[in-house]
Amino acid sequence: MPKPFTPKVVTANALLEGDVIYLSADGWTRDLSQADVLTDEADADLRLIEASAQVDTVVGVYLADVDVQDGVPVPVHFREAFRAKGPSNYIHGKQEAPQQEQL
């Protein structure tokens, strides 16, 4: 028996910047909370095919599992939570919020 389809978002990396991006109703966004949550398997497959065809914009397109909490998509797997936070090699991009100095 096949596994039931769970909510997903289309994710990829921006071709030029390398940032993690998500497919939204208006195109691509760097904010997971703005991503379209796909609950229909056929629709998800179609959106994945359409996104994969945008070879001048994105690389590494795939469907990522999410839960919806208070109407906002939240990553299910550690990998996606890690990707949603931004680069980890040094603080920049999404992690560039002011930090308190540690002694």
Query: Where are the chain's structural domains?
Result: 8-88
Residue 2: which pLDDT band, with cuts at 50, 70 and 90? confident
**Sequence-separated contacts (24+) of 64-67 with Cβ below 8 Å:** 64/8, 64/9, 64/10, 64/11, 65/6, 65/7, 65/8, 66/7, 66/8, 66/9, 66/32, 66/35, 66/37, 67/7
**Residue 101: is its pLDDT beyond 70?**
no
pLDDT in tens, 32-88: 999 999 999 999 999 999 999 999 999 999 999 999 999 999 999 999 998 988 766
Report the predicted TM-score, pTM, of the whole model to 2 decimal places. 0.82
- Mean pLDDT computed over 4-21: 95
